[in-house]
Copies of this chain bind each other. A is one copy, B any other.
């Protein structure tokens, strides 16, 4: 199924964000998905995820977290990302700005929106939920980040979280803190632990020499994508046009 894509620029966090919007063929309204990128920024890999979801029938926006940059230097990346991850309000501003773009698209079914994210993008997806945004699903890969006390109770949709067992950035204590937060808040949650996978395991272009504990894992990467598609199919299935 052919898809249409376009670059969208929008303001957030004092920057001009550069997102990638992908639309399925047709003119009808469709369920819509935000896709949040990992710490280094939005690259073609996540843009192609948006395209893949559009091929499955979703309106999909791969959003930007840093004004169109790609931090190839890990120190530069961490200097940008760590303060962002420590500031739920900034994460929410970035997430809401992307959500506004998605909602402004006429093809978007306003009642059926999900937020998926990887690393930093996953943390942003969770913050949208904690902010009470009416999402149909939240998927977070490599980001089992906790929020401000009590705010997880605002999450009203299923949360699917995934993490590599050998991810040093998301160790067992972090997983437990996250699942305890979800459980105490009464969230409908699931956690998948992919055995042997490290941080950013889903990303074929990560350079495992750049940072220790970061490596691609082909089998689990495929499984995680399959699981994400399954989450969307469960929570906001595409109904084919008549």
Contact = CB atoms under 8 A, between A and B. Distances in A.
Contacts of A188: 195-196, 219
A223 B190 CA distance: 10
A17 interface: no
The CB with the most chain B CB atoms within 10 A, among A188, A192, A195, is that of: A195
Given A190-B195, A190-B223, A191-B192, A172 B176 contact: yes
Contacts of A196: 183, 188-189
Contact of A165 (B166, B172, B183): B183
A139 to B, nearest CB: 14
A230 interface: yes
A236 B1 CA distance: 28
Contacts of A234: 223, 226
A179 B165 contact: yes
A201 interface: no
Nearest to A219: B188
A195 B183 contact: yes
A159 B223 CA distance: 13
A159 B172 CA distance: 20
21 contacts: A159-B195, A165-B179, A165-B191, A172-B176, A179-B193, A179-B195, A182-B195, A183-B196, A188-B195, A188-B196, A188-B219, A189-B195, A189-B196, A190-B193, A190-B194, A190-B195, A190-B220, A190-B223, A191-B193, A193-B193, A230-B230
- Lowest 9 CB-CB distances: which A-B pairs, in order? A189-B195, A191-B193, A192-B192, A190-B194, A183-B195, A182-B195, A190-B195, A165-B183, A165-B179
Interface of A: 159, 165-166, 172, 176, 179, 182-183, 187-196, 219-220, 223, 226, 230, 234
